[in-house]
Amino acid sequence: MLQQLFSPSVQHTLDIVGIFVFAISGALLAVRKNFDVFGIAVLAEVTALGGGLFRDLVIGATPAAFADLGYFLAPLLATVLVFFLHPEVERTQGAVNAFDAAGLGLFCVTGTTKAYDYGLGLTASAVLGMATAVGGGVLRDILANEVPSLLRWDRDLYAVPAIVGAAMVALCIRYEVLTPLTSGLAAVTAFVLRLLAMHYHWRAPRAWNRRSRVAEEDLLSPDPSSAG
């Protein structure tokens, strides 16, 4: 199977590390939103596992989170860490962002290969690989009552690096050159693109000829004629 690019122990370790760093980002947002400890744990779990659960439900697989206790415990560990040490964790936000970018690169690769293993076409597999990488973050923002970062023009590119990594994997499958080396290259490419986007604040373009702040304020402000 394509998914067995690495030994099971290496694959499991990479998954746990990715889940852990995604969970930290969810837990930190919960702290900023002043959630209680249960809310912190929920947001950590959803951020870490949401993308993988969505992928597994789409392809009809038993969600990995329900087959391995470690997948649940890693976000709980992140919850405890952030609950007690969130000022220190906040100070290492640069490192957290780097690990988050690494998780993004890893999950867009594993998501694409798993989707293809379950019979999806190359395009659908790449899309699901991207969803695996970013789905948890979307659910995190929705639960925190925020517009998902994925949809905000004022946030650095997030989905684009995942799309690039997933597309590279799909092309490697298409030309039968998917190996640990090429899959690692795809993950590293997504990782580096995400780091560059954060460093240089790369953002996707908005609608052509979009009027800037004045138009935005007009859209966001209530219509005076509708006031009672």
Q: Where are the domains of the chain?
A: 8-222
Residue 118 — φ and ψ, nearest 5°?
A: -95, 15
What lies within 8 Å, CB to CB, of 169 at 6+ separation is 108, 109, 112, 113, 125, 126, 129, 178, 183, 186
- Residue 220: predicted pLDDT: 47
Q: What percent of the chain has pLDDT over 70?
A: 89
Q: pLDDT of 112-170, one tens digit each?
A: 999 999 999 999 999 999 999 999 999 999 999 999 988 888 889 999 999 999 999 99
Extract the tokens encoding 105.
């690169």
End-to-end CA distance of the chain: give it in Å, rounded: 63
Closest CA to 21 of 85, 83, 88, 93: 93
Q: Pick out the chain residues at pLDDT < 50.
A: 214-228
Residue carrying structure tokens 């597994």: 56
Alpha helices in 33-121 (DSSP H): 37-59, 69-91, 93-117
Q: Which pLDDT does position 127 carry in this prediction?
A: 97
Res 224: pLDDT: 41
